[in-house]
Amino acid sequence: MVGHHPFHMVGEKYARAVIDAAAAAPVLIPSLAEELRFEELLDRLDGLLFTGSPSNVEPHHYDGPPSAPGTLHDPARDATTLPLIRKAVEAGVPVLGICRGFQEMNVAFGGTLHQKLHEVPGNLDHRDDESQPLEVQYGPAHEVTLEPGGLLRSLAAGDRIRVNSLHNQGIDRLGAPLAVEARAPDGVVEAFRVRGAKSFALAVQWHPEWQVMANPFSRALFAAFGHAAAERGRHK
């Protein structure tokens, strides 16, 4: 809601990353669930980016306990993205998930989430300090180790990269069709791909869209997504 009216919106940083690094045209998909007619929608799209958001997936979608008071939810988005993710991957539409999109993809494929990673013994505090300037909040926070043989490893100059970290929630149980692509130093899964997907189907917990053109790895990630989308466009 903005004022008294419902809005459908997306952060400019995601739209800019699609234009600048994926060489594609961003189009916002409203959260209108099955009114969108998913199969018809997917026939028209070359790729889908599931973005971050201040809201969290409602825990009943993964049989989790009730959220803490004050937690932001977006049931209309859940009703749209969870089935759309599964249908897109099945149809061979390239998919990239970021932050909430990463968590949505795990839930869509049967995984579960920790709602407060920092309360799990042995975990790092993956939250950002919202009192700091954006450049600090989105600055490098920790390394992730890239899995041998993974797509992300093929895009990197080594087996580790530094990423930002701005999330409370994270993977508890990984969905069965998903394969780990990267882990944080505490072992938390930070990226995965969908095994056997017909096209690009990958998600990351961090925010590669932030100042994407200044980060060679982030630029390569969006370029790979854009290349997959362009391939789909040529063969439709």
Residues catalogued as catalytic:
99, 207, 209
In this structure, the dihedral spanned by the alpha carbons of residues 233, 28, 214 and 131, taken in order and rounded to 10 degrees, is -160
Is residue 152 within 8 A of residue 221, CB to CB? The reply is: yes
Local structure of 76: helix, strand or coil: helix
Q: Which residues pair with 180 in a beta bridge?
A: 192
Buried b (16+ CB within 10 A) or exposed e, 169-180: bbbbebbebbbb
Cα dihedral sign, 40-6-85-232:
positive
- Tell me the CB-side half-sphere exposure of residue 12, using CA atoms within 13 A: 1
d(CA 81, CA 75): 10
- H or E element that contains 137: helix 134-137
